[in-house]
Structure 1
Amino acid sequence: MRDSENKKKFFKNKKILITGGTGMLGSNLAHKLVSLGSKVTLLDAFLPLYGGKMFNIRDIEDSVELVGGNILDEKLVCKLVKNKDIIFSFAAQADYLKSNEMPIEDLSINTKGQLILLRTCLKHNKKARLLFSSSRLVYGKIRQNPVAENHPTDPLNHYALHKLLSEEYYKLYKRLYNLDTVVFRISNPFGPRQQMKHFHYSIVGWFIKLAMENKTITIFGDGKQIRDYIFIDDLVSAFLRAAYNPKTSGKIYNVGSGSGTRFIDMANTVVDVIGKGKIKHISWPKGYEKNETGDYVGDITKIRKIGWNPKISFEEGVKRTYEYYKKFTKYYF
C-alpha cells in the first residue's frame, strides 16, 4: 500500500482537536485533515491581532466543529480533549518582542495553557497523541550550524523561555505518565492564511505585503544574517507524518527546510517574484540585537528518518503565498 493510502486510512474518522485552529498553521492543517476524512474540532480565542481568522476556514466551515474559547479555560479544555485521538497544540502568543513587555501574559498563554492541556489529558484522555509547536528560538545564540536537537538551549527572550519550559512539561509528562507527546522546534514558517496586519509573526509574510503595496522593505544591518524558512505545506506534512508514525512518541524534532537563506536574498526574492517594492538598509533598532540569535540553519536529519522531507523551495513558496494573497487581498490587508 502506498504511503498516501496509509495516511488516508490512518486519519479517516480520527477525532482531532487543533488549538489555535483558525490561525495559519491550524487552518492549513485542518484543510488537509478534512480532505483525509478526519473529524476535526477547532478551538480558537480570536484574540485581536493574533492569527485567528474565520476566513481561513471558509472552505471547510461546514466540515469542522468550531469552538470559540481560550486554552486557559480548564473546564472547556477538559470537555474538548475527551475522546480525541490526536491533539495539535498550536495556540500561542507568538510575538517574541512583545513577550518581553508582557512576560506574565506570555507565560500564561504559552506555558500555563500547555500545562492545562497536559493535565486534562492525564485526567480524561491518556491515550491521545499530543503534538506541540515549539520554536527554534529555544536555542538562543547559535554556536554551530546546522543546528541539531542536542544543541544547547539558551533562550534570549520570554517567548523562547516559555516555549522551552513547555517542552520540559511535555517531556516530564511523557516520562512520569507516559503521555504520547511529540515536540516540533519550528523555524520561520510562512504561507497562505497568515496574519498580515503586522510584522511580528512572520517577516516573510510582512515583506510580501509591503511588496504587494509597492512599499519600502527595510533590512536591519547588511542583511547577511541567515535563516531557515519553511513553507506551510511542508510544515503541515511534517505534523501529519509525526502524528501517524508511532516512532515519534516522546521525541523532539527540528522542522525547517534544512537550508539557509540570507535575509537580503529572502527580501530580493520577494521583490523579484512580486515585481514591486524596494529595499532599504537601516541600522539595527535599539533592543533588537539582544534578541539576535545569529545565523540559523536547522539540522533536519532526525525528522528525515521518519520519512519526511521538505518539498517546496523558498522561491516557490513565495510564489504560492503571493498568488493566495493576490486573490484574497481584502480579507487580510
Structure 2
Amino acid sequence: MSYKKKSVLITGGLGFIGSNLARALVRLGADVTVVDSLVPQYGGNIFNIRDIAAQVVVNICDVRDPYAMPYLLKDKDYLFNLAGQTSHLDSMTDPRTDLEINVSAQLSILEACRKVNPGIKIVFASTRQLYGKPEYLPVDEKHPIRPVDVNGINKLAGEWYHLLYNNVYGIRACALRLTNTYGPGMRVKDARQTFLGIWVRQLIDGEAIKVYGDGAQLRDFNYVDDCVEALLLAGASEEANGRVYNLGGGEVVGLKELAEMMVALVPGGKYELIPFPPERKAIDIGDYYGNFDLIRSELGWEPKVGLHEGLKKTVQYYRQYRTHYW
C-alpha cells in the first residue's frame, strides 16, 4: 500500500474510525485532511487526534455544506467517506436528518467529485445493518437486503450512489459493510455509535453492564486497527472498484458471553440481563455474523486482533483517558 505523499481527505475524520485511519495514513507518509462537523450527538472528538494534530489539516465543516466540500475535494487522490449518522434509534425519531446526512450529503459529495475531481478514489463506510434480520449465517454479500430501520435504508442508498458513480461516471469507488467496530476513540457517552461504548463506560464507572434480553444474541466484532487495515487495502486496490465487501470478526460470541469477558477485565465488574426496551426490540436483528471470504480472497484482508486482546486495550485506553470521553 503506497500512500506516501498522496493527498487524502477523510470525512468524519475526528470520529472514531476516521481518527484511527488518519493516524495510520500519517504513518504511511500521506498528506491528510480531516473534515468533521463536531456536531455534539455524533462521534467527533478533537482529543482523538491529539498525537497527530500537528501532522494533519483539520477543517471543521459539515458534509452537507455544498460550497465547502467541492473546495476540499479538489486535487485529492483519495476520499475515505466515513461521515454519517450511525444511530439506529435516532434515525427512527428524526428520519429527515438521517436522510440529509446519509443520502443527500453523499449525493452532493459524489456530484462534487464528478465536477471537480473525477480521478479521485473513494472508499465508503457502509454497514451490515442494511441486511436486516439474517435468513442464514454467516451473512455474505449475496444475502437479501431488507433494512429494519431508516438508517439501514439511507446507508444503502448512500452505498448504491457510490457504486452508480463508479459504474456510470468512472469515479473509482467501493464500499465496506462494517460490522461492530470497537476500540480507542469510540463514542462512550451513549449507545449512538455502538452498544460496546456504553458498556465500557458502565464497566469503568462501576455500574452493571446492561444486556438486553437473554444475552444469547450472536455478534461478530472488529477491533478498529483491523477495520482501518481493510479501508487502506480497499483504497489501494483497483480490483476493489465497484465492489462491496463485508467485514467480519474471527470470533462469534453471544452478548452475555461478551459481557462476561468484559467484567473479567475490571475487578468488581458486573452485568445484568434486562428486558428489551420496546423501541429497540422493534429494530433488533437477532443473531448476526458476517462472511468475509470475498475481501479475504480479493484483497487479502482478515482480522488479526483477537476479541480478548482488543477489549483489554480498549478498557485500558478509557481508564486512562476517561475525562476526554465521558
TM-score range, shorter chain: over 0.9
Aligned counterparts, 1:274-313, within 5 A: 274-305=266-297, 306-313=299-306
In 1, Cα distance between the equivalents of 2:307 and 2:108?
A: 36
- Report the TM-score when normalising by structure 2: 0.98
Aligned counterparts, 1:102-181, within 5 A: 102-181=94-173
Q: Which moved more, 1:12-21 or 1:172-181?
A: 172-181
In 1, Cα distance between the equivalents of 2:119 and 2:9?
A: 14
In 2, Cα distance between the equivalents of 1:163 and 1:275?
A: 39
Q: Please name the residue that 1:67 is paired with.
A: 59
Residue 213 (structure 1) aligned with residue 176 (structure 2): no
- Report the TM-score when normalising by structure 1: 0.96
1:329 Cα deviation from its structure 2 partner? 1.4
Per-residue CA deviation, residues 147-186 of structure 1 (Å, 9 max, x unaligned), is 0001000011000010011111112111211110010100
Aligned-pair Cα RMSD in Å: 1.0
Q: Please name the residue that 1:314 is paired with.
A: 307
Q: Please name the residue that 1:332 is paired with.
A: 325
Q: Please name the residue that 1:4 is paired with.
A: none
In 2, Cα distance between the equivalents of 1:259 and 1:81?
A: 38
Aligned pair count?
Answer: 325
Identity percentage of aligned residues: 36
DSSP 3-state at the match of 1:153: coil
In 2, Cα distance between the equivalents of 1:135 and 1:206?
A: 20
Residue 58 (structure 1) aligned with residue 50 (structure 2): yes
DSSP 3-state at the match of 1:261: strand
Query: Which residue type is aligned with residue 39 of structure 2?
Result: L
Q: Please name the residue that 2:214 is paired with.
A: 222
Query: Which residue type is aligned with residue 318 of structure 1?
Result: L
1:24 and 1:193 in contact (8 A); partners too:
yes
Q: Please name the residue that 1:14 is paired with.
A: 6
DSSP 3-state at the match of 1:117: helix
In 1, Cα distance between the equivalents of 2:320 and 2:203?
A: 15
Moved over 3 A (4+): none
2:12 and 2:37 in contact (8 A); partners too:
yes
Query: Which residue type is aligned with residue 156 of structure 2?
Result: L
In 1, Cα distance between the equivalents of 2:248 and 2:76?
A: 28
Gap runs ≥5 in structure 1: 1-6
2:188 and 2:198 in contact (8 A); partners too:
yes
Query: Which residue type is aligned with residue 77 of structure 1?
Result: M
In 2, Cα distance between the equivalents of 1:260 and 1:21?
A: 29
1:259 and 1:298 in contact (8 A); partners too:
no
In 1, Cα distance between the equivalents of 2:254 and 2:61?
A: 39
Query: Which residue type is aligned with residue 250 of structure 1?
Result: G
1:41 Cα deviation from its structure 2 partner? 0.4
1:258 Cα deviation from its structure 2 partner? 4.2
DSSP 3-state at the match of 1:233: helix
Change in Cα spacing, 1:206 to 1:276, as seen in structure 2 (3 Å) is: farther
1:274 Cα deviation from its structure 2 partner? 2.1
Of 174, 182, 196 in structure 2, the residue corresponding to residue 190 of structure 1 is 182
Query: Which residue type is aligned with residue 324 of structure 2?
Result: Y
In 1, Cα distance between the equivalents of 2:218 and 2:182?
A: 16
2:128 and 2:178 in contact (8 A); partners too:
yes
Per-residue CA deviation, residues 23-64 of structure 1 (Å, 9 max, x unaligned), is 000000000100111000000000012110111111111111
DSSP 3-state at the match of 1:65: strand
2:190 and 2:197 in contact (8 A); partners too:
no
DSSP 3-state at the match of 1:111: helix
Query: Which residue type is aligned with residue 68 of structure 1?
Result: I
Per-residue CA deviation, residues 50-83 of structure 1 (Å, 9 max, x unaligned), is 1101111111111111001010111100001111
Query: Which residue type is aligned with residue 37 of structure 1?
Result: G
In 2, Cα distance between the equivalents of 1:77 and 1:30?
A: 18
Residue 90 (structure 1) aligned with residue 82 (structure 2): yes
2:230 and 2:301 in contact (8 A); partners too:
yes
